[in-house]
Amino acid sequence: MGRKLRTVIAVGNQKGGVGKTTNTVHVAAALGERGYRCLIIDLDPSAGATRHLGVPLQSFAGTLELLTTDETPQALIITKKLPRRVHLIPSRPQLAELDSMLSKFDDKTQILERPLKLARRHYDFIFLDTPPSAGATTTVAAYSSADWFLLSVFPHPLSLSGLNEALKDIADVRQRRNPELEILGVILSCVDTRTRMAAELESIVAQSLPRRAFQTVITQAIALPDCSGKGKTLFQLKQFAEHKVVEQYRRLAAEVEYRVEHRDAFLEGVLAPFDLSTVAFVTEEGPELEASSEFEEEEPDVDELSMAAKE
């Protein structure tokens, strides 16, 4: 692991059911395994990331309080029983009432700026898991505040239409609100490499978004919905330690890290392809990977976060 990255990545597609949340939690888990501190902020009232990580709905304050009160990220994060070095700010269905709880004088494009300013100081990667609605306040805020946008696509026509809509929204927000927002890449997931649709999808992405496809694709696997039903990622369950999709997410996370670390070269189109053969990992023991004592000693300082909140 190199320097602190402190980068914010919004993850999405304007269509639901395209693996967005699955990709978010697994890329974060893989980066955590690589030594990076990761925070996932669940911005979706359906609470997909919260459910996927096994956090009971209605049990904790979370994103709603983060966006409508003076609570700090540190006061709201969940750390227990999550992938190593991954923290979560959970969502719940009441987040759908966000608009009615904000002042009419609030700039809804900026509601994430204060919490992100605080969180950047303590995390290398902050993932914004967005709802599949371009008009949702949290989606607009994510587009307006993120450094990168990570697109998630299934080999399905509806997924492709959602991709096109997302690209239009990204172009719009770059022109009107956040010129620094860039597309980090397109994750092709639930791919059956034997089908024609998968090949067509790769071709479409290559043509419409040159150099934005990843070398790594995430193939179909029953293990993914299985672990989601258990409230875990594949990285937390011993029986999946050597699963092919775990290795795919490890390689994908290494590609994400490489692009973020070399942002200028990547955006200029001069970054050499990442050498996937260099990806090496140490498998940790135990059926589940809990936060280590070393990580707990490095927890974000509450006093510093509170002072920053008053700035």
Confidence (pTM) = 0.88
> What percent of the chain has a predicted confidence (pLDDT) above 70?
85
Q: How many domains does the chain have?
A: 1
pLDDT score at 3:
61
- Note whether residue 2 is domain-resident: no
Torsion angle defined by CA atoms of residues 73, 79, 85 and 91, in that order, rounded to the nearest 10 degrees: -60
Q: Please report, rounded to a whole number, the percentage of residues in the chain having pLDDT higher than 90.
A: 68
Find the mean pLDDT for residues 94-104. 94
pLDDT at 163 over 90: no
Give the tens place of pLDDT for each residue, 39-81. Answer: 999 999 999 999 999 999 988 999 999 999 999 999 999 999 9
Confidence at 303, pLDDT banded by 50, 70, 90: very low
Q: Which domain holds residue 188?
A: 7-303
Average pLDDT, integer, range 160-178: 85
267 vs 264: CA distance, rounded Å = 5
311 assigned to some structural domain = no
165-179, 260-274, 276-290: range with lowest mean pLDDT? 276-290
User: Which among 214, 274, 275, 284 has a CA at the least distance from the CA of 249?
Assistant: 214
Tell me what pLDDT residue 48 has.
95
Confidence band, pLDDT 50/70/90 cuts, at residue 285: very low
Spacing of C-alpha 151 from chain mean position: 10
Band the pLDDT of 2: cuts 50, 70, 90. low
Asked, for residue 72, whether it belongs to a domain, the answer is yes
Helix (H) or strand (E) run with residue 255 in it: helix 244-261
pLDDT at 214: 94
Mean local confidence (pLDDT), 134-151:
94
**Does residue 308 lie within any of the structural domains?**
no
For residue 27, being part of any structural domain is answered with yes
For 103-131, letters b (16+ CB in 10 Å) and e give eeeeebbebbebbbebbbebbbbbbbbbb
Residue 34 lies in a domain: yes
Residue 13 CB partners (closer than 8 Å, separation 6+): 20, 132, 151, 152, 153, 159, 162, 163, 166
Give the least confident one: 196-200, 206-210, 212-216. Answer: 196-200
Does residue 1 lie within any of the structural domains?
no
Of 207-216, 230-239, 276-285, 301-310, give the range with the top mean pLDDT.
230-239
CATH code, domain carrying 139: 3.40.50.300
Residues contacting 85, CB < 8 A, separation 6+: 31, 32, 33, 35, 36, 37, 38, 291, 295
DSSP secondary structure letter of residue 146 = -
Strand arrangement, sheet containing 7-12: 86-89, 38-42, 125-129, 7-12, 148-153, 182-188
pLDDT category, 281, cuts 50, 70, 90? low
Q: Which two tokens stand for residue 18?
A: 């395209």
Please, which pLDDT band fits residue 299 given cuts at 50, 70 and 90?
Answer: very low
